Amino acid sequence: MKLAGNLLTTPQSIHGDSGDSSTLFPGFQTLKQLDRSWTSREKNSVAVKRALAESVTCFSPTRPKMSSIRALRQLSAVSSRAAVSRAACSAVRGRLVSSLPVSGTRAFSVSARASGQGTGPLIADVALSNKLHEELKYEKETIAELASEPDFLRDFKAQGKWQLEDVTFNDEVNMTRKFGNENLRLTFSIVDIRGEHDEAFDNESAPEEGEEGSNEEEVLTTYPIRASLTVTKSGVTGAMSIDMMCQEGQFVVDNIAYYREGGLVTDSTAEGDWRRRGIYMGPQFDTLDVGLQEEFDKFLQERGIDGNLALFIPEFAEYKEQAEYVRWLEGVKGFVDA
């Protein structure tokens, strides 16, 4: 009886009397070859250990021939599976290695990484600083003639009616006045200024061809500025607040509110703002009787809330906005360059 690969010879070779294992059973040479071909992990597998143990005992002359044949078949099967497993692992490992991306260069250069860390001069900072410098130079050249106090402001102060409270770096302007036993406080903000006039108004105000340009000085400012007037009286607990819109040389009243507590009208705390929300603010001014509206207008004009003041506020707001813009440019540029 023979097994493929000449692992077994004749039955007589198995039950011979010789003590040489290679003579009795040439298949031992095959076992040695298999043992050398297996890896340490394959030797430790349960299937290999079981096959080896059975092969060693079945190769004894006292064991039947069929047991040795079965053992060799098991060893051959285990060896075949191990070979296939090693081939599969090698193929998968080859595919994984070939699929990995090979980077010839770094994703970021040294200069880009340094810029991201904020070390050294940054290109964006230098460009921004240069642009700020250009804008600042242009604005300073534009207002060079305004280095001294403008004429309109000097004339307004010479009248002596209102005290102007202009705080640098603030967008709000306060004007105060004493009128009899009343204390008047008018507040407006420069943030209401728009950089450009309405296109529709410009088209309407533009002189037609052939007309003289002498009326250009009569064109008034078109952007509205909100103003709030607070009126308090000495020895009186109440106060009156009048919200108005200053535009085109006149004041347009929007609302008149009365406060039983005079201090509440100027309370800028969160509690004061919360308390004002629950107070009845009165009707819209334009819903009042026309005669009542006219009397309120006279009341305001008598206290200096007139056309002259309505012309001064937009002009001063534009003057202050320009000065604050230059200060803003200087501050931002200094911070960027630091």
Q: Which residue has the tokens 């900072």?
A: 125
Residues 142, 86 share a domain: no
Whether residues 87 and 145 fall in one domain: no
Say how many domains are in the chain: 2
The verdict on 147 and 294 lying in the same domain is yes
Average pLDDT over residues 184-205: 68
- Strand ranges (E), 86-220: 163-166, 172-179, 182-189
AA identity, residue 185: R
- Domain end among 56, 81, 97: 97
- Please write the tens of the pLDDT for every residue from 272-327: 778 778 788 889 999 999 999 999 999 999 999 999 999 999 999 999 999 999 99
Whether residue 146 is found in the same domain as residue 91 = no
Q: Classify residue 195: in a domain, yes or no.
A: yes
Does 275 share its domain with 155? yes
Answer yes or no: is 184 within a domain.
yes
Minimum mean pLDDT among 103-112, 224-233, 271-280, 327-336: which range?
A: 103-112
Looking at residues 215-230, what average pLDDT do you find?
Answer: 70
Looking at the fold, whether 143 and 93 belong to one and the same domain comes out as no
**209, 212, 293: which is closest to 255 by C-alpha?**
293
Q: What is the pTM for the complete model shown?
A: 0.57
Assign 3-class secondary structure to 229-264. Answer: EEEEECCCCCEEEEEEEEECCEEEEEEEEEECCHHH
Domain-located, residue 211: no
Co-location of 46 and 162 in the same domain = no
What DSSP state is assigned to residue 213? G
Report which residue type is found at 52: L
Q: Which of 138, 152, 131, 135 is nearest to 320 (CA)?
A: 152
- Long-range contact pairs involving 135-141 (C-beta distance under 8 Å, separation at least 24): 135/329, 136/326, 136/329, 136/330, 136/333, 139/322, 139/325, 139/326, 139/329, 140/326
Structural domain including 19 reads 4-97
